[in-house]
A and B are shown apart, each in its own frame.
Chain A
């Protein structure tokens, strides 16, 4: 599928071709000065974003709101269902029908997988998935791709090492599939119990890539262009001692970066707990705060494109 995104739902990154993603990233690039407040825009003046957050998510919610505001639009909605009609047991379908009538575009974060697809069925206005439980989170994938593109001048040929919980982290699944589609060289670093599921490795191999599977960060850090760090959740380990051991083995600190390339960049979707120690923040490698900022221009691009403000 290619061409205009006007009126389309943004539910899963799998719905998009490489061309479409490249186009979104290009539009996002043009949004940066407005996102930073250096230039003004009224591209979406008079437009209303219905922002429905059934789960707290400070970063995603604020960056959508910032994106809409920077483009001259307004946001209405809730950041937790408490006190709203949702708390009284209203179905998602009914809430969506109502908000559909009040707004021009809907952003949804919901704890149930598939919620955004369902919302898309009931809404006439475009729905953007801001995370559905353990499901998809396409705007995160797009901002991750945007960050690599911007920092590295492109995605193809870069060696991206992804470390952490690769089994349950579904955003890591979409990201690695997208990176595979763009021709990045991939290495997955995780303890065997949290490695990338076979179906995703197979999917990436079907695109002609050969991801490397490893359990040791030390072995691969030297050759990395991008180190993408994700959280290892305590809940995944029945034994707290085992968690401590695993989490410790994958902590990024300046010692482990000793052999890293000068231009290695480190990314993290945030919030971090202790996967990256704070002494890394000062190094030339840290890019996770820029990455978080990049959420704004990327979401500006999506909002303008689905609303038809930009082709």
Chain B
């Protein structure tokens, strides 16, 4: 039998195995603010089989787009996406850190030209995936504090 600490959702998405402490960043990425009409539940610091602790975010009546998935992968490369249909897990996959990232993160180098109002989207080559480390295509510097720089 399934044990739920929050009310089950009929349709929606469960983002599971989020790196502990990243749940609020995930909410920011998927744009959950006061004007959302469906239910959103957040579980922080939940015991996990894989790692010792994890966070979980459950959103009703919503599926994620590829940009949102890329962002979640960058801040939490082990997160799983569970699509819930009619109360059951209809689909499950692990997010995937992309090879190249464009427009979803700003460069952590304050001296970088992409931080200066130029008409370009910041762009990065992913050098290592776990933990993610990204090299700016413009200034060549590494950004490792991804969560701070996601836009």
B2-42 vs A: 1/0 string, CB under 8 Å? Answer: 00000000000000000000000000000000000000000
Specify which chain A residues have a CB less than 8 angstroms from the CB of B118 in the assembled complex.
91-93, 118
Closest Cβ of chain B: how far from A304's Cβ, in Å? 27
8 A-B pairs, CB-CB below 8 angstroms? A113-B113, A113-B138, A113-B141, A114-B112, A114-B113, A114-B114, A114-B140, A118-B113
> Are A112 and B140 touching (Cβ within 8 A)?
no
B116-138 vs A: 1/0 string, CB under 8 Å? Answer: 11111000000000000000111
In Å, the complex CA distance between A124 and B112 comes to 22
Q: Does B48 contact A (CB under 8 A)?
A: no
Q: Does A110 contact B (CB under 8 A)?
A: yes
Q: Which of the segments A128-136, A145-153, A185-193 contacts the partner chain?
A: A128-136
Find the residue from A110, A113, A117, A136 having the highest chain B CB count within 10 A. Answer: A113
**Partner pick for A92 among B113, B136, B139, B141, CB 8 A cutoff:** B113
> Are A12 and B140 touching (Cβ within 8 A)?
yes
Counting chain B residues whose Cβ lies within 8 A of the other chain, the interface size class is 10 to 19
- State the B residues within 8 Å of A (CB): 107, 109, 111-114, 116-120, 136-141
19 other A-B residue contacts (CB within 8 Å) besides A91-B117, A91-B118, A93-B120: A92-B113, A93-B118, A93-B119, A110-B113, A112-B139, A113-B112, A113-B139, A113-B140, A114-B140, A115-B113, A118-B118, A118-B120, A118-B138, A132-B113, A132-B139, A133-B111, A135-B139, A135-B140, A136-B140
Counting chain A residues whose Cβ lies within 8 A of the other chain, the interface size class is 10 to 19
Specify which chain A residues have a CB less than 8 angstroms from the CB of B117 in the assembled complex.
91
Closest Cβ of chain B: how far from A242's Cβ, in Å? 25
Closest Cβ of chain A: how far from B127's Cβ, in Å? 11
> Are B138 and A117 touching (Cβ within 8 A)?
yes
Find the residue from A114, A115, A117, A134 having the highest chain B CB count within 10 A. Answer: A114
Closest Cβ of chain A: how far from B135's Cβ, in Å? 11
In Å, the complex CA distance between A134 and B112 comes to 10
Q: Does A121 contact B (CB under 8 A)?
A: yes
Closest Cβ of chain B: how far from A115's Cβ, in Å? 5
Closest Cβ of chain A: how far from B116's Cβ, in Å? 6
CB-CB contacts below 8 Å: A89-127 with B: 91-93, 110-115, 117-118, 121
